[in-house]
């Protein structure tokens, strides 16, 4: 059976930390579907369409990786794309505690789905989308935290 993993997140924006987790997971799975989770009632910084386009650009030469947006429960998306694995990245003990609760509840409700965690590379530990957004919002240069294949001019704050 094909090993399909999803990598769910907000990716607002997709950072080098996210990129590294996906790249390191490629040898482990037959297919990785990056799931941009959104909530129509919650305002995001970058529109979903831009996030889809950017992530597609990062992995355009990687046939195993695709990206889709989804509103609703992550496990429902797993069913939609036939995934048995949920991939997540761990930076700190705070990440661990947060992820542990979600993964254990998911496991209880959907025993057939396994959550798989990769520890972040040490240099990516402090990188999170909130800080990167703040840098962009205030006109700073966030290029070192964003995938190098992306055109930095696109990363202007959206109105
Ligand atoms: P969420 O809102 O679901 O936490 P994020 O877009 O912030 O979505 O993160 C998606 C996943 O990527 C999470 O598993 C998160 O822990 C992981 N992640 C975020 N930043 C990094 C990073 N710098 N290094 C490794 N993993 C990361």
For 8, the domain range is 4-154
Quick check: is 24 in a domain? yes
The answer to whether residue 18 is catalytic is yes
Residue-wise over 63-79: b if at least 16 C-beta within 10 A, else e?
Answer: ebbebebbeeebbebbe
One digit per residue, pLDDT tens: the chain, 159 residues?
899 999 999 999 999 999 999 999 999 999 999 999 998 888 899 999 999 999 999 999 999 999 999 999 999 999 999 999 999 999 999 999 999 999 999 999 999 999 999 999 999 999 999 999 999 999 999 999 999 988 776 776 554
Query: What is the rounded distance in angstroms from the CA atom of residue 140 to the CA atom of residue 95?
Result: 26
Residue 159 lies in a domain: no
91 in catalytic set: yes
Atom of ligand 1 nearest to the CA of 10: 6
The answer to whether residue 66 is catalytic is no
In-domain check, residue 143:
yes
Return the ligand 1 atom nearest residue 11 CA.
6
What lines the ligand 1 site, CB under 6 Å? 9-11, 15, 17-18, 21, 88-89, 91, 95, 120, 124, 127-129
Task: Kindly calculate the radius of gyration of the chain based on its CA atoms and give it in whole angstroms.
Answer: 15
The residue annotated as part of the active site, out of 53, 80, 91, 107, is 91
Rounded CA-CA distance 136/156 in Å is 7
Is the residue at 59 inside a domain?
yes
Tell me, in angstroms, the distance from the centre of ligand 1 to residue 11's CA: 7
53 is catalytic: no
Predicted TM-score (pTM) above 0.75:
yes
The CATH number linked to 132 is: 3.40.50.620
Report the domain count for the chain: 1
Q: Is residue 110 part of a domain?
A: yes
User: 120 and 90 in contact (C-beta within 8 Å)?
Assistant: yes
DSSP string, 32-77: EEEEEE--TTS--SS-HHHHHHHHHHHTTT-TTEEEEEE-S-HHHH
So what's the pLDDT on residue 159? 44
């Amino acid at each position: 059976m094909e090993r399909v993993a999803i990598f769910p997140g907000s990716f607002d924006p997709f950072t080098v930390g996210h990129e590294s987790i996906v790249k390191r997971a490629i040898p482990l799975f037959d297919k990785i579907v990056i799931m941009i989770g959104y909530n129509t009632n919650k305002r995001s910084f970058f529109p979903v369409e831009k996030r889809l386009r950017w992530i597609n650009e990062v992995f355009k030469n990687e046939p195993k990786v695709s990206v889709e947006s989804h509103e609703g429960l992550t496990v429902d998306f797993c069913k939609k794309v036939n995934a048995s694995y949920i991939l997540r990245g761990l930076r700190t003990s705070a990440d661990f505690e947060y992820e542990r609760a979600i993964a254990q509840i998911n496991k209880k409700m959907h025993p057939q789905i396994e959550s798989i965690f990769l520890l972040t590379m040490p240099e990516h530990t402090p990188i999170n989308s909130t800080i990167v957004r703040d840098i962009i919002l205030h006109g700073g240069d966030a290029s070192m935290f964003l995938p190098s294949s992306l055109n930095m001019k696109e990363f202007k704050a959206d109105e």
